[in-house]
């Protein structure tokens, strides 16, 4: 791209081609240095640089062995300690002895890890955003921990990473791997490869004209470092603020390998998404926004970007959903409250919405006690315009959510013939239209972001259990179930999961607020039904656990409670039994 301006830097016998983007002379802005990996050059950042340049002075360079920089012939010249000194020299040059924030990918991240664990690194490196590149010493330590405690889970995680890294063994064979890339290392073939493995767009992907040479000389990175680091790891601490961007669909690096980073990084944040290894190519806007968010937080103490990075703060061992942003409607009580507790306990920042903000505030108190950021909003999900406005508020103040739980709902019992039009409208507006509105508003944001996500919609066992006294309620929940199944199919290509949760008889306060069409003594009926639910005593925290499992495992339909699981199978395989049972009068 023409907006890169080159100026060379000499480090010993190595000439490094360094680049500034646009007008990088504005000294009042923080500096950011971008470090590429194999087999890329500074062109990896072509699609991110314009967005970053709106906030910082942007610099990049071709690391030794790549692009227009010197290509040493000997393998030893590619050791990580030498590469780390190159980075320090670039930072010193572009900042006149100051400090810079570093965003690095793949081997660029590996060598930056070497730099930030070098004593005194914090004087030169203000922060480090690590993308798809581990600290090799930490990786070796993690691998030894798995093998020293050979449980099925540990062995499985270790074998998964070995399988993902199998290509590195091939890269260790000089004659064979060099010849392979000499024959196949063309722009066209590499573009098709990236497109095939993770959907990297064929257009707007920039490679240097030296791609084939870069592929071959860059193999020395693997030969100079992997065997030595794995055989003799030397994990060192760092006080540099670090954000680990973890890609759940990384073909080379499994998320589990980052599990011990917190033991060495004093200031560690983490953000994960259902993205692949070459994130700077596949979703540069998302990665740029993530880096801006983090760097702003470090520069200002608080983030001026919408998606508050403090939610990804890692104070201990990584939790399953650390760094995720979750939105829960109907969070003031029952299943919504317990789901908020469960997600907060797993490291999610939670945004709580309820028509009763006083009850939502009570939920928020417990969530905050778990050490996560928590915010409360008043929301009436029956009003589509309010849901749309709420979604935009969440995006502007907190960012695009990773998890949305459309939980708000009401009950309506009694005869469908006796129900009033007002009761029917309210039921459908809240139970069905509210779910549709919330799903649509947030799904649009997730699709635009391009980093996946998960939507949970609360249906009910009533969706597949017909009853003469729950016909209208069942219809609203059956609509939620079928909408969720259909939306799941629609969003699959965007790696956005959709789960329909179908609880049976759960002891929540929905029974106390349920209206019963055609019943004169509403209070007596409410006491009777509530008493039955209390005796059943299936608590909402158990449903919350199933919701979390659905998110983690991307389950489609989740019947909860024994009667729901039984009813689901009966309706699927012997529906005539359900139809006969539906005639029974339950509340007479």
Question: Bridge-partner residues for 406, per DSSP?
Answer: 457
Which of 78, 281, 473, 538 is catalytic? The answer is 473
Tell me 265's DSSP state: B
How far apart are alpha carbons 554 and 455 in whole angstroms? 10
Put the strands of the sheet holding 403-406 in their side by side order. Answer: 374-378, 349-354, 325-329, 403-406, 453-458, 496-503, 557-560
Angle value at C-alpha 263, between 257 and 267, nearest 5 degrees: 105
Helix (H, G, I), strand (E, B) or coil at 372: coil
Q: How far is CA 19 from CA 16, 38, 42, 261, 266, in A?
A: 10, 18, 8, 31, 31
Q: Is-catalytic flag, 473?
A: yes
Q: In the structure encoding, which two tokens stand for residue 346, read together?
A: 């797993």
Tell me 63's DSSP state: P
How far apart are alpha carbons 251 and 168 in whole angstroms? 13
Tell me whether the omega of the peptide bond preceding residue 276 falls within 30 degrees of 0, making it cis: no
Q: How do strand 14-21 and strand 57-61 relate by DSSP bridges?
A: antiparallel
Cβ neighbours around 417 below 10 Å, total: 8
Residues 6+ positions from 263 with CB-CB distance below 8 Å = none
Helix (H, G, I), strand (E, B) or coil at 253: coil
Angle value at C-alpha 570, between 546 and 483, nearest 5 degrees: 55
199 CA to centre of own chain: 18
Query: Strands (DSSP E) along 29-124, which ranges?
Result: 31-35, 57-61, 100-105
SS (HEC) of 431-457 = HHHHHHHHHHHHHHHHHHHCCCEEEEE
How far apart are alpha carbons 427 and 413 in whole angstroms? 11
Neighbour-count burial for 219-234, b at 16+ CB within 10 Å, e otherwise: bbbbbbbbeebeeebe
Query: CA Rg, the chain, in Å?
Result: 27
How far apart are alpha carbons 110 and 112 in whole angstroms? 5
In terms of C-beta density within 10 A (0-12 exposed, 13-18 middle, 19 or more buried), how is residue 535 classed? exposed
Q: In the structure encoding, which two tokens stand for residue 202, read together?
A: 């064929």
SS (HEC) of 278-304 = CHHHHCHHHHHHHHHHHHHHHHHCCCC
Q: How do strand 100-105 and strand 31-35 relate by DSSP bridges?
A: parallel
| Residue 159, phi-psi category: left (phi > 0), alpha (psi -120 to 50), beta (remainder) | alpha
Residues that are catalytic: 473
């Amino acid at each position: 791209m023409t907006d890169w301006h080159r100026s060379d830097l000499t480090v010993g016998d190595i000439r490094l081609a360094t680049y500034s983007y646009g007008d990088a002379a504005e000294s009042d802005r923080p500096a950011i240095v971008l470090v590429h990996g194999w087999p890329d050059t500074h062109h990896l950042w072509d699609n991110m640089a314009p967005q970053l340049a709106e906030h910082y002075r942007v610099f990049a360079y071709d690391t030794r062995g790549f692009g227009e920089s010197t290509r040493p012939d000997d393998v030893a010249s590619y050791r990580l300690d030498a590469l780390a000194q190159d980075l320090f020299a670039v930072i010193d040059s572009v900042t006149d002895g100051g400090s810079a924030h570093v965003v690095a990918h793949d081997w660029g991240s590996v060598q930056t890890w070497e730099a930030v664990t070098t004593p005194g690194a914090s004087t030169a490196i203000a922060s480090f955003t690590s993308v798809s590149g581990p600290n090799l010493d930490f990786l070796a330590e993690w691998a030894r921990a798995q093998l020293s405690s050979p449980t099925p889970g540990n062995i499985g995680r270790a074998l998964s990473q070995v399988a993902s890294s199998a290509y590195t063994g091939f890269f260790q064979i000089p004659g064979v791997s060099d010849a392979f890339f000499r024959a196949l290392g063309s722009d066209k073939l590499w573009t098709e490869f990236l497109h095939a493995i993770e959907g990297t767009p064929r257009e707007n992907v920039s490679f240097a004209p030296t791609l084939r040479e870069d592929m071959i000389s860059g193999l020395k990175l693997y030969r100079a470092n992997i065997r030595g680091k794995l055989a003799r790891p030397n994990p060192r601490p760092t006080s540099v603020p670090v954000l680990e961007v973890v890609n759940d669909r990384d073909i080379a690096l499994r998320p589990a390998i980052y599990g011990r980073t917190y033991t060495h990084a004093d200031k560690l944040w983490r953000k994960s998404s259902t993205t692949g290894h070459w994130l700077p190519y596949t979703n540069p806007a998302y990665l740029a926004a993530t880096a801006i968010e983090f760097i702003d937080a470090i520069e200002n103490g608080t983030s001026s970007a919408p998606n508050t990075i403090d939610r990804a703060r890692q104070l201990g061992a990584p939790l399953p959903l650390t760094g995720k942003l979750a939105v829960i409607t109907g969070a003031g009580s029952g299943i919504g409250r317990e789901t908020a507790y469960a997600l907060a306990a797993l490291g999610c920042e939670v945004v709580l919405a309820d028509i009763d903000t006083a009850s939502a505030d009570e939920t928020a108190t417990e969530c905050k006690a778990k050490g996560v950021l928590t915010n409360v909003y008043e929301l009436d999900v029956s009003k589509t315009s309010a849901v749309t406005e709420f979604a935009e508020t969440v995006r502007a103040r907190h960012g695009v959510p990773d998890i949305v739980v459309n939980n708000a709902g009401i009950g309506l019992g009694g005869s469908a013939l006796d129900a009033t039009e007002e009761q029917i409208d309210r039921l459908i507006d809240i139970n069905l239209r509210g779910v549709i509105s919330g799903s649509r508003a947030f799904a649009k944001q997730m699709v635009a972001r391009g980093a996946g996500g998960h939507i949970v919609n609360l249906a009910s066992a009533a969706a597949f259990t017909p009853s003469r006294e729950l016909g209208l309620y069942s219809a609203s929940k059956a609509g939620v179930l079928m909408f969720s199944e259909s939306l799941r199919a629609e969003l699959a290509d965007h790696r956005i999961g959709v789960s329909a949760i179908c609880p049976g008889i759960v002891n929540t306060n929905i029974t106390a607020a349920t209206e019963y069409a055609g019943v004169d003594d509403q209070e007596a009926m409410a006491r009777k039904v509530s008493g039955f639910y209390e005796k059943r005593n299936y608590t909402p925290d158990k449903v919350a656990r199933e919701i979390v499992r659905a998110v983690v495992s991307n389950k489609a339909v989740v019947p909860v409670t024994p009667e729901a699981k039984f009813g689901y199978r009966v309706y699927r395989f012997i529906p005539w039994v359900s139809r006969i049972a539906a005639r029974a009068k339950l509340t007479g």
